[in-house]
């Protein structure tokens, strides 16, 4: 029999144990509830995160799509710009081709000095206009990363003297003195892109003359360094003027595109604001450097250095005589061009070299003459109504009707110097191209190359 004390003790222990269990159950319940709520919160956070990730992914995808569309629009705009520039330059160069070509032809005639002088001025102005067109072309090529540099031999003092002579006209008109100082150490014969060097100096001296009302413009040329081992020299040029000068804060930005140092400059002096951008790019892309110092109201000095290759006298003489002699060309050439003025200029140049020429105005006419007569070469304009030069060439290369003449050399005659047009020329099966306005030396060299290879 259990004693009362023991019973009481057991009862108390049982009550304590029940209490403790209840307490434990309460704590477990409480903690479970807490865990449940935390879990719920976590679930919510997770859901929110998923929603956010989804939204972000959607945003990124939207942006990507927008970028794709923007890229396509930009590419289409660049292409439209390129096409526009290409056809615009064609329209502008065609009449210029006529003016420059005919002026050259009359200059070759027996005309008196007064007429010769006037013709030289016409040629100078027309060439200046061609330069402006080329400036627009050059800028778009720089933008598209499509600039290339030629390597031709030239006589630097001769180039500078011709430039000096031409620019003296402007200097004289403005009552300015123009000086040219070439250091004796500068090698005469160099190799590089003479056309672009001409553009660089022309632009800098042109600006100096434009922005100077009284005083002088001085062009100096010296030798910065010479390395006999690899025939490399760095030539230094300085163009100093006593003109309006440039404000200190505008000095760096004058090399930016479409920038003029003052908003009144455009109104007073004209200009595109592209010249210095092109100049800087031409110099830097060839490994040179350009800079400027200026005092507002007193004048400016633009300077640049350009690495070039120098040629020994012996080597040069051989090449020069080879270039200058116009031997008669025993060729029969078919010229297809829809512009009568181009036919006239090219026809007369070719006849001077003893070339037998037939002239037609369309690709269709060219094909029908090729069917009947024998020619050594075809000079074919790219853009002709009805049938373009490229289309006519494709027919010559592939149509069985022209089997006998399918390999005849076809040279594109084009006012369009764009890279994509050059590609089009070769893709159509043409063998080369001559740009307009026609450069007689280039035309002669192209034709003589085909005479040799045939």
Which parts of this chain interact with ligand ADP (CB under 6 A)? 203, 207-208, 211, 241, 243-246, 254, 259-262, 265, 271-277, 300
Q: Cβ 125 to ligand ADP, closest distance in Å?
A: 17
Nearer to ligand ADP, 302 or 375 (CB): 302
Q: Cβ 138 to ligand ADP, closest distance in Å?
A: 12
Nearer to ligand ADP, 199 or 393 (CB): 199
Distance of CA 231 to the CA centre of its chain: 28
Q: Per DSSP, what are the bridge partners of residue 307? A: 234
Nearer to ligand ADP, 277 or 343 (CB): 277
Q: Cβ 245 to ligand ADP, closest distance in Å?
A: 6
Whether the link from the prior residue into 437 is cis, omega within 30° of 0, is yes
Q: Which residue is nearest to ligand ADP (CB)?
A: 271
- Give the residue ranges of DSSP H helices in 109-193: 113-143, 156-174
C-alpha gyration radius of the chain:
38
Q: Cβ 293 to ligand ADP, closest distance in Å?
A: 11
Nearer to ligand ADP, 243 or 440 (CB): 243
Nearer to ligand ADP, 208 or 390 (CB): 208
Nearer to ligand ADP, 277 or 361 (CB): 277
Round to whole Å and give the CA distance between 51 and 57. 10
Round to whole Å and give the CA distance between 380 and 239. 43
Q: Cβ 291 to ligand ADP, closest distance in Å?
A: 13
The answer to whether 177 and 171 have CB atoms below 8 angstroms apart is: yes
Round to whole Å and give the CA distance between 44 and 181. 83
- Give the residue ranges of DSSP H helices in 194-290: 194-210, 263-269, 275-285
Q: Cβ 374 to ligand ADP, closest distance in Å?
A: 51
Nearer to ligand ADP, 160 or 276 (CB): 276
Q: Cβ 133 to ligand ADP, closest distance in Å?
A: 14
The answer to whether 444 and 326 have CB atoms below 8 angstroms apart is: yes
The CB-side HSE value for 215 (13 A sphere, CA atoms) comes to: 18
**Which residue in 371, 384, 381, 385 sits closest to 414, CA to CA?**
381
């Amino acid at each position: 029999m259990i004693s009362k004390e023991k019973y009481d003790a057991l009862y108390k222990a049982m009550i304590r144990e029940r209490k403790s269990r209840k307490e434990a159950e309460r704590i477990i319940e409480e903690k479970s509830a807490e865990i449940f709520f935390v879990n719920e919160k976590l679930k919510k956070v997770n859901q929110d995160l998923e929603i956010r990730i989804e939204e972000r992914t959607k945003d990124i995808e939207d942006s990507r799509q927008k970028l794709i569309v923007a890229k396509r629009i930009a590419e289409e705009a660049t292409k439209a710009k390129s096409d526009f520039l290409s056809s615009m330059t064609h329209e502008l160069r065609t009449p210029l081709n006529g003016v420059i070509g005919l002026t050259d032809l009359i200059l070759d005639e027996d005309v008196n000095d007064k007429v010769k002088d006037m013709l030289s001025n016409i040629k100078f102005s027309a060439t200046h206009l061609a330069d402006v067109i080329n400036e627009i072309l050059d800028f778009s090529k720089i933008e598209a990363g499509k600039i290339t540099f030629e390597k031709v031999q030239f006589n630097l003092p001769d180039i500078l003297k011709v430039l000096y002579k031409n620019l003296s006209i402007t200097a004289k008109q403005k009552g300015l003195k123009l000086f040219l100082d070439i250091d004796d150490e500068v090698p005469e014969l160099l190799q590089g892109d003479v056309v672009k060097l001409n553009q660089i100096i022309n632009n800098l001296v042109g600006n100096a003359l434009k922005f100077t009302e009284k005083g002088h413009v001085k062009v100096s040329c010296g030798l910065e360094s010479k390395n006999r081992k690899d025939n490399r020299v760095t030539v230094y040029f300085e163009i100093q003027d006593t003109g309006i000068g440039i404000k200190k804060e505008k000095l760096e930005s004058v090399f930016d595109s479409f920038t003029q140092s003052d908003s009144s400059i455009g109104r007073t002096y004209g200009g595109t604001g592209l010249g210095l951008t092109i100049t800087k790019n031409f110099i830097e892309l060839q490994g040179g450097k350009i800079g400027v110092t200026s005092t507002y109201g007193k004048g400016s000095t633009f300077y640049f250095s350009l690495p070039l290759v120098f040629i020994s006298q012996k080597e040069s003489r051989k090449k020069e005589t080879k270039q200058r002699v116009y031997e008669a060309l025993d060729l029969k050439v078919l010229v297809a061009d829809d512009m009568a003025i181009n036919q006239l200029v090219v026809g007369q140049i070719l006849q001077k070299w003893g070339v037998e020429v037939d002239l037609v105005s369309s690709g269709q006419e060219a094909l029908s003459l090729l069917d009947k007569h024998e020619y050594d070469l075809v000079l074919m304009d790219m853009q002709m109504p009805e049938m373009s030069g490229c289309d006519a060439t494709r027919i010559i290369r592939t149509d069985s009707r022209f089997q006998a003449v399918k390999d005849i050399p076809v040279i594109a005659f084009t006012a369009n110097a764009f890279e994509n047009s050059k590609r089009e020329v070769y893709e159509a099966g043409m063998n080369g191209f001559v740009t307009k306005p026609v450069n007689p030396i280039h035309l002669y060299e192209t034709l003589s190359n085909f005479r040799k290879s045939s």
